[in-house]
Amino acid sequence: MGKPEISLRLFDLSDVDDFMVWATDDRVSHFCRWDTYTSKEDALDFIRNIVIPHPWFKAICIDNKPIGAISVEAKEGEDRCRGEIGYVLASEHWGKGIATVAVKMVTETIFKDWPPLERLEGFVDVENKGSQKVLEKAGFQKDGVFRKYVILKGVTRDMVIYRMDNSRITFRPFKLSDIDDFMVWANDDQVIRYTWVTGFASKEDDDCSIGFISVYPGSGDYICKGDIGYAVASQYSGQGIATIAIKIALSRIFIDFPRMERLQALVNPENKASLRVLEKVGFTKEGLLRKYMVFKGNIVDLVLHSFLSTDPVLDL
């Protein structure tokens, strides 16, 4: 049996029975602003009058069957640069990474679909740990906790606010057209000093790659681990870009490689900046491996850091 296809699509009135599966579930509505539905007619009215006319309200589907919903609310006036994401998923599908995939689908297109949008926010109840993990895995950054921020079902609640902005760092595969951007950092002695990249001599620009990040998964008895490497053009150093890039990688890597439980990094002890990057993200220093390998003609020590699939990613 093939892997189920997760997709987003517009709602239709014929989806009401699927809608009722999660809308009538108290576990689903517990952290939502709406009350549990008890009437199919009320659900039809909501789909007809709110969902269908909404500028961005879609069904989260498995094989085109709705199992949840996701929406983006656009702000107006002076707040038009901001939008708020919301999502809900039938409880039988919790813990499978489906909501994370759906949120990523939104963030891949929403800034292009709505050009004025610069910041996408998510507000999550402090007790809703599952939803917080969804946003973190999707690459959102935690801004803080708004205390006594909203009345939810008669109780004043604290809310965690997350954000993703349009200027965020993104990952994509390299293209041959990246050669000019690649040359900027691949031919920079400051960048390649601690990497296995050798110097390149010259040549040609677009979409602007400013560095790389890679993960090499293990195999056989070592399939549970992977090695991470990264480099950023020197003119972008000190701006927190590598830190953010690694956090994005951590939000995805254990999903992309489900058998991986450990991600490790070997860093030259003289490379203080890279050591700080790993520590800021939440990697654990395990020790110094003395005279560990020959690196550009010299036998060098390397500091070993690791991050486990169960470790928390630290806030920036």
Question: For residue 80, what are the CA distances in angstroms to 50, 117, 285?
Answer: 20, 7, 43
Exposed/middle/buried for 222, CB within 10 Å: 0-12, 13-18, 19+?
Answer: exposed
The first and second tokens of residue 95, run together, are 């813990």
Residue 2 has pLDDT above 70, yes or no: no
Q: Which residues lie below 8 Å from residue 123, measured CB to CB, with a gap of 6+? A: 84, 146, 149, 150, 159, 160, 161, 162
Percent of the chain with pLDDT over 70: 87
Structure tokens given for 116: 């004025």
Is 60 exceeded by the pLDDT of residue 266?
A: yes
Unique residue bearing structure tokens 């939104």: 106
Reduced to 3 states (helix: H, G, I; strand: E, B; else coil), residue 132 is: helix
| Chain length of the chain | 316
Residue 194 — very low, low, confident or very high, per pLDDT cuts 50/70/90? very low
- pLDDT value of residue 171: 59
Can you list the domains of the chain with their CATH numbers?
6-165 (3.40.630.30), 176-308 (3.40.630.30)
pLDDT band for position 200 (cuts 50, 70, 90)? very low
Higher pLDDT, 204 or 127: 127
Q: Say whether 8 sits in a helix, a strand or coil.
A: strand
Over 90: is that where the pLDDT of 28 sits? yes
Rounded to 5 degrees, what are φ and ψ at 163?
-145, 150
| Contact yes or no for 121/82 (Cβ under 8 A) | yes
pLDDT tens-digit map of 85-123: 999 999 999 999 999 999 999 998 898 888 888 889 999
* CA–CA gap between residue 152 and residue 155 (Å, rounded): 5
State the chain's mean pLDDT as an integer.
84
Three-state secondary structure call for residue 307: strand
Question: 217, 212, 219: which is closest to 264 by C-alpha?
Answer: 217
List the beta strands (DSSP E) in 2-140.
6-10, 57-62, 65-74, 82-89, 119-125
* Confidence band, pLDDT 50/70/90 cuts, at residue 132: very high
Q: Which residue has the tokens 């004025």?
A: 116
Name residue 89's beta-bridge partners: 68
